[in-house]
A = this chain, B = another copy of it.
Amino acid sequence: MDDHKQQIAHFEQTCRAHGLKMTHQRLEIFHALVHSSEHPSAETLYSMLEKRMPTLSLDTVYRTLATFVDLGLVKRVETLGSKARFEAKIDQHHHFFCDRCGQLTDFTWQSFDASQLPETVQELGRVRDKNVILHGVCNQCLKAKE
């Protein structure tokens, strides 16, 4: 969990390097993203934070997330829905998506990460990122089904 502290440190560095001020909002939003595993949308982040920060505006959440994405601090997650969801970019990982409740869970898969892409792919272009997305039904939903 000290990864988180490192991540925050890296975040502060990056902001400073780009001449961005360390505002309360930016810090809280990044903090929330780092400590959340639910890949929240802007709206979700907003409702998570508005209790503690009653003057926070949804607009700021959107604006701040866009900034973070530009800086490469945060990634928009690939989903089937129309709402954008985000995660603080950490090490190589993959996603399990529950088609019933929309829950999105991270997992790692070292042997996949180490695997070689098929040759046909070389011809398509230069690959920068290689990720797995699983779809299915999560355990909670499976249990809730009686």
Which positions in A face B, CB cutoff 8 Å? 76, 78-80, 82, 84, 96, 98-99, 105, 107-112, 115, 117-118, 120-121, 123-142
Contact = CB atoms under 8 A, between A and B. Distances in A.
A124 B141 contact: no
A118 B128 contact: no
- Give how many copies assemble into the complex: 2
Contacts of A128: 99, 135-137
Given A105-B124, A117-B134, A125-B137, 8 more contacts: A96-B125, A99-B128, A111-B115, A111-B118, A124-B136, A125-B141, A127-B135, A130-B135
Contacts of A105: 124
A96 B132 CA distance: 12
A133 B134 contact: no
Nearest to A84: B82
Contacts of A111: 115, 118
